[in-house]
Amino acid sequence: MPELPEVEVVRRGLAEHVVGRGVAEVEILDPRSVRRHGPGPTDFIARLRGRRIVSAERRGKYLWLPLDDDDAILGHLGMSGQLLVSDASIPDPRHLRVRLRLDDGAELRFVDQRIFGGLSVSEGGAELPAEIEHIARDPLDPLFDAAEFARRLRRRETGVKRAILDQTLISGVGNIYADEALWRTPLHYARNTRHLRNREIEGLLGHLRDVMTDALAEGGTSFDALYVNVNGQSGYFDRSLHAYGREGEPCDRCATPIRRDAFMNRSSYWCPRCQPRPRNGRW
C-alpha cells in the first residue's frame, strides 16, 4: 500500500497539474470506486461538475482536493490506486474507474486494479474532511507534536512497530518505512513501547522523518507497476532499502543475514544482531 512518500509525490503532482482547473465533466466507469460517497454516483457527478479545484492537500495516506464551494474530493489510493493526469488523446489505461475532464482539455483519471481505493465528495471538507479528522498528523507535518507523540506512545503497552502503524497515533507510516526506520534506529519491532527510553523515541522519530524525506527525494518506492506518480512514472527508493524485502541478504551495517517474521498478516524485516529480539518483551 502506498505510504506517506508515495502519496505526497502524487499530491505534489496534483498541485502542479490540476490546481486552478475546472471540472467540465465527470464519468464513472465503475461505481465501486465511488462507493464511499454515500448519496451515490449521480450525486458525486452533480457535486463536481462545474467546480474548480483550488488546492491539493494530504493527511497521512489520504488526499483531498478542496473545491471552490468549500466541498472537497477525498481520495485514498488503497493497494493499487493511481491518479493520473493525461491528455485526452491518450488511450484509456486498463482498470480506469473514474474520469474527470478538466477545462484545459486534460483529464484526471482514477485507475485502480484491485478497487480497494476510492473517491468521494466531502461536504464542507475543504479545510479538513470530517471523514479523516481521526487521522493523526504525520512526522513531516510542521504542526506534528513530538512531545505528545512520545507521551501517547509510552501510555501504550504494545510492540513499537504495531504502535507506529496506528494512523490515529502517527500517520503516513506503513510496513516499508516502519521497517526501515526501526533498522536505522535500531530497534526490534516487538520492543514494548512502555519501556522505550527518551533517546530511543527521539531517534525513531528522527529516522522516520529521514527515511521518508529520502524516499520523497527518489519519488517513493515502487516494487511493481501499481505505484506511479501523476505522470505514470515509478519511484526508485526500493534501491536504497536496508531491511524491507531483503530476507537472507547481509545487513548493510554488520553483514548478518536479514530475517523476515510474519507480522499482522504482513512481514517484518530485521537484523538479529543490530536489532536483538527483546527478552520478555521489555527492552
Residue 210 Cα distances to 105, 173, 185, 213, 225, angstroms? 39, 12, 11, 5, 25
* pLDDT at res. 4: 87
Mean of pLDDT over the chain: 93
Give binding residues as ranges: 95, 114, 156
pLDDT of residue 229: 62
Binding-site residues for DNA, please?
A: 95, 114, 156
| Global pTM value | 0.90
Q: Report whether 60 contacts 167 (CB < 8 A).
A: yes
Query: What is the per-residue pLDDT for 223?
Result: 44
pLDDT in tens, 32-68: 999 999 999 999 999 999 999 999 999 999 999 999 9
The DSSP symbol for 145 reads -
Q: Convert the pLDDT of each residue in 197-207 to its tens digit.
A: 999 999 999 99
3-state secondary structure (DSSP) of residue 184: helix
Mind listing the pLDDT tens digit for each residue in 171-180? 999 999 999 9
Q: Report the top-level CATH class of 4-132.
A: alpha beta
Please state, in angstroms and rounded to a whole number, the distance separating the CA atoms of residues 76 and 211. Answer: 22
The residue among 202, 193, 148, 190 whose CA lies nearest residue 170 is 148
Fold of 146-270: Helicase, Ruva Protein; domain 3 (1.10.8)
User: Where exactly are the structural domains of the chain?
Assistant: 4-132, 146-270
Look at residue 160 and tell me whether its pLDDT is greater than 80: yes
* Catalytic residue numbers, as ranges: 2-3, 61, 266
Cell numbers found for residue 258: 536479514
100 or 214: which carries more pLDDT confidence? 100
pLDDT one-digit tens code per residue, 232-270: 665 556 778 999 999 999 999 999 999 999 999 999 999
- Please determine whether the domains at 4-132 and 146-270 fall in the same fold group of CATH: no
What are the pLDDT digits (tens) for 84-134? 999 999 999 999 999 999 999 999 999 999 999 999 999 999 999 999 999
More confidently predicted of 149 and 216: 149
DSSP 8-state secondary structure symbol assigned to residue 247: T
